A and B are shown apart, each in its own frame.
Chain A
Amino acid sequence: MSEACRYERDVLRAVEENGWTDALRVHVADCEDCAAAMSVAPWIDRFAAVETRERALPDPAVVWLKANVLRGTVAMERVARPMRTFQFVAYILVASGWAGLVTWKWDALQQWLLSFSPAQALVSAAYAPQLSISFFLAVFVLSSMTIVLALHTILAEE
């Protein structure tokens, strides 16, 4: 069973048009492919002839319009892809920055948080021996980046 039987189409046509020839009859008796085709062909022909559509097909003008809209959406997604990648990288950078900073100054932060009181907060923070200017600078930079990123995300969504 490697190649299609060359009489298959003739057999199907003979079933459809009731146009059997002696040669075809002999062939069908020997060819199991054609015999199988012949056994279901009348039913499939009837099945295909049964009207199944009860309403009109979708309007071609609507299909055309929707295809154009979808095409625009696809193009927009393609353009926005580098921006989304950049945004993702920025999220990772800011999150790792915060994680690194907290890990770096964990002991000092813990000490500062434990001695935290509303009145003394800024004073103790400013005089905390282990929290240097560079730490506060890093906090400032990361905070700014976080805010910018958040604003960008919100505005981009809108």
Chain B
Amino acid sequence: MEMVLTLPAPLIAGTTTRGSAPQKPMNEAQFEAFYRKTAGSLWSYLYRLVGNAATADDLLQKTFFRFLRTNPSLAGEEHIRRYLFRTATNVALDHFRESKREKNIELPPPAPVDERHELRHDMMRMFGELKPRERALLWLAHVEEADHDEIGEALGLKSKSVRVLLFRARKKLAEILKKHGMAPEVAR
């Protein structure tokens, strides 16, 4: 028998349009399809924020638990995706608050076993020199290609602040890369 989440809580804002009939909540099969579409990129984001695969797994599940508590429908999938990243950001920042490790990323195991691991380790270490919010800003702007409004929504910031903070985060990352002798060459 297929289970359907039917919490009386309102649907995520924007998943229904004013005047139209409310959408049916996701059933298990729809959730599975949505999960397969979004979980990979969400996990990558969380992993880059916390720097630990097991923690990223936990936070990914927490994110989806919170997401499912809102009784989501499939309407406005792009909006739901943004909501998911906002939830993931909150979950990750809660994690940092709880563990009081905001300043230090949890590094992957210290002894890389091959070249690929070594590269990943070095990159994670450099990225880890940024604060969690700076990591989130850069990832959302560059990898998720979110605009400033969307980033502001995800991080609870005004879009004007996003511009300033993003600029600082980029400068800081550029400094870090330079410090490690990795300032990128840009083909122009």
Binding site for B on A (CB under 8 A): 1-4, 9, 12, 15, 18, 20, 25, 28, 32-33, 36-48, 50-55, 57-58, 60-61, 63-64, 66-68, 70-71, 74
Contacts and interface: CB of A to CB of B under 8 A. Distances in A.
Interface stretch (B14-22, B76-84, B99-107, B164-172): B164-172
A14 B7 CA distance: 46
Contacts, number: 132
A36 B43 contact: no
B164 A64 contact: no
Nearest to B67: A67
Contacts of A68: 3, 5
Contacts of B116: 50-51
Contacts of B123: 46-47, 50
B28 A40 contact: no
Nearest to A14: B188
Given A44-B139, A63-B68, 4 more contacts: A1-B160, A40-B174, A42-B185, A50-B123
B156 to A, nearest CB: 18
Contacts of B94: none
Interface of B: 3, 5, 7, 28, 31-32, 35-36, 39-40, 43-44, 47-48, 53, 57, 60-61, 64-65, 68-69, 116, 119-120, 123, 127, 138-139, 141-143, 145, 147-148, 159-160, 162-164, 166-167, 170-171, 173-174, 177, 182-188
